[in-house]
Chain A
Amino acid sequence: MKTISLVSLFILGCLSLSCSSGAAGRRYWGKTEPPKENVLRYISGSEPESLDPQIPTGQPEARILMALYDGLVEYHPKTMEPIPAIAERWEISPDGTEFIFYLRKNACFSNGEPITAHDFVYTFRRGLSPELAAQNAYLAYEIKYAQAYNSGEAFVKDKNGNFLLRRDYKDTGKKDFDSSGFGPDTEFHRFINSPARLTVPYAEKELEAYLKDNPQMREVLKDKELVPVRAEDIGVEAIDDYTLRLKLELPAPYFLDLLAHQFFRVVHRQTIEKHGNSWTRPENIVTSGAFKLAVHRPYDVLIAVKNPEYWDAENVSLDRIEFYPLEEQTTMMNLYKAGEVDALYNNTVPAPWLDEIRKYKDEYLDYPEATVQYYTFNITKKPMDDVRVRKAFALAIDRFALAKFRKTAKPLADFTPEGIFPRYEEVRKRVYKDLLKEAGISEEEWNRRYFDPQKACRLMQEAGYEVVSKENGRCEVKNFPLGDVSLTYNTSEVNKAVAEFIQAQWKQNLGITIPLKNMEWKTFLPFRKRLEYTGIARAGWVGDYMDPNTFLKLFYGPNNDSATGWHDQKFDQLMNRANSETDPEKRFEYLARAEFYMLQNQPVIPLMTSATNWMKKPYVKGMYPNPGTLHAWKFVYIERDPAKWDRDVNEDLLKREDPMVEAKLAKLMKTQLDFQKRRRGE
């Protein structure tokens, strides 16, 4: 027995020793020494599915692929706005549906071959080909005929050889945009600017299903010829070796932001055609980015080394990036503390550690993320088919208390995340003011939408429930059909804690105890999608690009992704008007109206905007807590002089000017800014 107590004493002693060596009094958490070599050791999350930039959909892959591949544009390291990359400058047609990119002539692949506009044409066509079956293909659906090509559709040709036009048969709310005067006149440009052709499914089975839904088309298609949409028909054109033109279905100002996405980064045709599926193996791979693949040991490490052939190699600071694919939060925190890694990916600091970690002000990054957390209602089933009940449930949650409880979140009552789209938020504020007046809602009442138990009780009463008032404006709803409602979430510690917190809120404020259910992730997703859940389910959404559209489009169309069963013509019309608007200000106005209208129907309960929640050592510079935690790696560098290390990173790191970063940015932006100036002067 004596030995045991001695052993436990030893363990306790060591534990307290290890705590005291890392805690208060120390400026940094754990070992803080820059690596000897010019290398960044980064925890990148799950093992990448593939190193083919057009295949994976996750953020962990995105970060690795951003190092390996370059696109027309790159993300601005702080704002994620597009900055020149292989395209040194670009212009947009007056109607906003065409882009011309002027490529730099010194860009080349990792094998030294030049990158031309034809490589981009190949990349875009490949990404959309049905055979590749890329999950991300929908990102390119804004390109004219891209969706039709990816979905295996066909044009319809009549006996005289004329193609039927969309506007004569289908009311999609989409207009035709003609920008034939933009850039050089070519045969393809004339074709792509002609009024949109009608497209229908080509495969027999799908065509039959389509005709069932659209019986009037059966007559139309009689003795017409179906001509499959080919890769060559999509709105991507190489005007010459170094000029690329894109044609969109509608003015989509956000499309430029989207082009920095890995899906649009350029791939090497010969390598892919030669090696097929195995082209991404280290012995075969040819890449286009600032770094190239050196070592890939799955689940262990992926090492990318600086690519000397890269057009901007002189501005690439790191010699090497080591990506460690792991997801265990405690393990990565251990590695970080032991000084074996220099930075983590987002949402990695475990909740119980937050109070401690927050003290390390030079290392912990807490910035809003382009991600919303919300709950969905199944509005197809009782009692959630009643908008008053939905509103009551939304109002009975104290968002501020929830955000405080979560520690890494900001309260959210709208659907677009807070603090991510400042320009949109300005417009929205103005629009909401008008809309509130129209709807007869006082500003005071509106500001209480983050938590308003009184109104919640009132709404429940209006919905016909027996409500007994209690103190502090709370109440107890007597005859709520508990058996018909539950709150379902996908299994995780955090989701459970949040669900329990909200369950307690409803109990406190409405006297309703909603039963909780949890499910494994892949079981949960189809369950929610098919509206098999009763009552309420958890959801989260990460923006694909820096525009409110990426959030609001969730509710667009009859088969939308909201998993609520909500679909509304008026909302769709507002979205259509927004997305055919060329004036950005007016476009935001329509989007704000759409957002307001949707939330008045409350198919979802917005809960919080997530925070970035990650750490980096103070000597890692040029790496910013941008809304997507997507780092343009060429700006990242290791600072060896402790006097220049990052301090108080949560104060205003995004506004601080780092001469190293600013100089690189200025040089990159110059081509585009000069070009714009010249154009304005003309």
Chain B
Amino acid sequence: MLYFIVRRLLIIIPTALLVVTVTWALIRFAPGNFYTGEKQLPAAIEENIRKKYGLDKPWYQQYLIMIGNIIRGDFGESLKYQGQSVNEIIYRHLPYSATIGILAYLLALAVGLTTGILAALRQNSFLDYTSMAIAMLGISIPNFVLGPILVILFALGLYVLPPARWGGLSNLVLPVVTLSAIYAAYIARLTRAGMLEILRSDFIRTARAKGLDEWTVLLRHALRGGIIPVVSFTGPALAHLLAGTVVVEKIFAIPGLGNIFVQSVLNRDEPLILGIVAFLSILIMFFNLIVDISYGFLDPRIRYE
């Protein structure tokens, strides 16, 4: 087990560097520059800028400098936002995304697991049909539709919640609900499917035959196996939620990492793009690792050698 974890952790480093290299090449191939604008710059001014940011050096030199910095954990300074380091920007904006992400994740888990379990227990009942229909709706309504509808209802119709911006608790409600909807729906459907399969398996029948009460059967035995599909879905999902979801952050004007990421690409802000890409790839690989480890705990049939 330990060997497995150490090996996986070690793989993360070269993979992240590879991701960064590919991204760097892609940015270099993309036309335009961080200083490209409607107004063309006189050649001398462009020359001044290139000198200032070391863009006049040969490409391999620039690449080595970049990789060297990243290995030291320093992503350098943003080209667009003068005087701000990339580390600082990520550190500053991650909490916004993470707050919304974690809240949405918890809400999605609570709503999704409850409905999923209830639907599985009362299969083919009215409750099952309604909750699964709503879940289907949740999956099919994209968040850029749901968000504005919620805004129209609660912010512009009833004037009870603010329509956007970061602020107090009331500002969190709409984005968290919007963000969690689709995850809650998926979790509900996955939980229901997983639970239905497990509830019909032999070891559950055995547990019941042993005379265990229904709650113990459900929570100690069925749930552990039943939520494996949920875990493999929500692990990477959590990474995405933490790192910011562009659409919801845009709709609700939340200063999160997703928002910054998109902007950095539009700005051709190379160090910032690389920093966020490296950070995200490490985050996602890390969460995948956690998911893999948790399989072992959830399902006794899975063992890592």
Contact = CB atoms under 8 A, between A and B. Distances in A.
A38 interface: no
B105 to A, nearest CB: 22
Given A14-B153, A133-B52, A151 B42 contact: yes
Given A47-B263, A49-B82, A135-B49, A334 B255 contact: no
Interface string B169-206: 00000000000000000000000000000000000000
A22 interface: yes
Interface stretch (A231-239, A272-280, A453-461): A272-280
B149 interface: yes
A338 B155 contact: yes
B100 to A, nearest CB: 13
Contact of B83 (A17, A50, A332): A50
B133 A4 contact: yes
B71 interface: no
B251 A135 contact: no
Interface stretch (A322-330, A419-427, A466-474, A651-659): A322-330
A380 B38 CA distance: 21
A313 interface: no
Interface string B140-184: 000000001101110111110011111000000000000000000
Given A298-B92, A522-B266, A135 B37 contact: yes
A446 interface: no
B122 interface: no
Given A150-B48, A335-B165, A298 B255 contact: yes
A18 B152 contact: yes
B8 interface: no
A357 interface: no
A15 B149 CA distance: 8
B251 A328 contact: yes
Given A49-B81, A135-B49, A324 B163 contact: no
Contacts of A558: none
A326 B260 CA distance: 12
A49 to B, nearest CB: 6
B159 to A, nearest CB: 7
Find the residue from B47, B81, B164 having the highest chain A CB count within 10 A: B164
A526 B255 contact: no
B83 A279 contact: yes
Interface in B8-65: 30-33, 35-45, 47-49, 51-52
A337 interface: yes
B188 to A, nearest CB: 15
A507 interface: no
Interface string A1-37: 1011000000100110110011000000011000000
B163 A331 contact: yes
A300 interface: yes
Contacts of B51: 130, 133
A521 B41 CA distance: 16
A541 interface: yes
B74 to A, nearest CB: 15
Contacts of A132: 48
A17 B154 CA distance: 11
A169 B271 CA distance: 45
A526 B164 contact: no
A57 B37 contact: yes
A566 B5 CA distance: 65
A130 B43 CA distance: 12
B115 interface: no
A131 B52 contact: yes
B240 interface: no
Contacts of B133: 1, 3-4
Contacts of A335: 163-165, 253
B80 interface: yes
Interface in A325-375: 326, 328, 330-332, 334-335, 337-338, 340
B234 interface: no
B221 interface: no
B259 interface: yes
A522 B31 contact: yes
Given A280-B83, A328-B251, A338-B159, A18 B266 contact: no
A22 B82 contact: no
Interface residues of B, number: 58
Interface string A115-142: 0000000000000001111110110010
Contact of A523 (B31, B35, B41): B31
A133 B45 contact: yes
Contacts of A300: 165-166, 255
B224 interface: no
Contacts of B89: 298
Given A331-B253, A561-B40, A338 B156 contact: yes
B130 interface: yes
Nearest to B144: A330
Given A522-B36, A523-B31, A18 B83 contact: no
A151 B81 CA distance: 24
A278 B159 contact: no
B295 interface: no
Given A133-B49, A340-B163, A15 B157 contact: yes
Contacts of A309: none
Nearest to A561: B40
A318 to B, nearest CB: 20
B137 interface: yes
A299 B89 CA distance: 11
Given A1-B133, A522-B268, A17 B38 contact: no
Given A300-B166, A561-B39, A337 B45 contact: no
Contacts of A324: 165, 253
Interface string B79-91: 0111110000100
Contacts of A340: 162-165
A215 interface: no
A18 B82 contact: no
A299 B83 contact: no
A133 to B, nearest CB: 4
Contacts of B49: 133, 135
A281 interface: yes
Contact of A337 (B156, B250, B253): B156
Contacts of B137: 4
B252 interface: yes
Contact of B130 (A3, A18, A31): A3
B226 to A, nearest CB: 26
Contact of A299 (B82, B158, B259): B259
A46 B37 CA distance: 14
Nearest to A530: B31
Contacts of B152: 14-15, 18
Contacts of A206: 47
A297 interface: yes
Interface of A: 1, 3-4, 11, 14-15, 17-18, 21-22, 30-31, 46-47, 49-50, 52, 55, 57, 130-135, 137-138, 141, 147, 150-152, 206, 277-281, 297-301, 324, 326, 328, 330-332, 334-335, 337-338, 340, 520-523, 525-527, 529, 539-542, 559, 561, 563
Given A277-B83, A278-B83, A334-B163, 7 more contacts: A3-B133, A3-B134, A18-B158, A47-B81, A55-B82, A298-B255, A526-B32
8 contacts: A57-B37, A152-B48, A277-B77, A330-B148, A523-B30, A526-B32, A529-B40, A563-B40
- For the complex of A and B, the 9 pairs showing the least CB-CB separation, nearest first, are A522-B32, A18-B157, A151-B44, A299-B255, A334-B163, A133-B48, A50-B82, A300-B255, A277-B83
